[in-house]
Amino acid sequence: MSKTLWANMAALGAIGVQAAMGKTAMDPALQAAILAVSNAALRMTTSEPIR
């Protein structure tokens, strides 16, 4: 499985934990920006297509 999908699944898990706890670890807009940048970086370094 691609690194990008793993990163997105980890982010989804973190969002789920935050929602269950009723708290956020940091500003949601900052979380979204970090995820967007990491997705772009991983897509540039990943050469295999999504299967």
pLDDT in tens, 2-50: 788 899 999 999 999 999 999 988 998 999 999 999 999 988 887 777 6
> ∠ CA(23), CA(28), CA(32), 5° rounding?
140
Question: Does residue 51 belong to any structural domain of this protein?
Answer: no
Q: Looking at the domain assignment, is residue 22 inside a domain?
A: yes
What tokens does 7 get? 């990163």
Domain span holding position 37: 3-45
- The Cα 37–Cα 32 span in angstroms is 9
* 21 burial via Cβ count (<10 Å: 0-12, 13-18, 19+): exposed
Confirm whether 32 is domain-assigned: yes
pTM over 0.85: no
Structural domain count, the chain: 1
Could you tell me if residue 7 is inside a domain? yes
- Residue 50 is predicted with a pLDDT of 65
Asked whether residue 40 is domain-assigned, the answer is yes
What is residue 46's predicted lDDT score, i.e. its pLDDT? 76
50 part of a folded domain: no
Distances (CA, A) of 41 to 16, 24, 32, 34: 24, 24, 14, 11
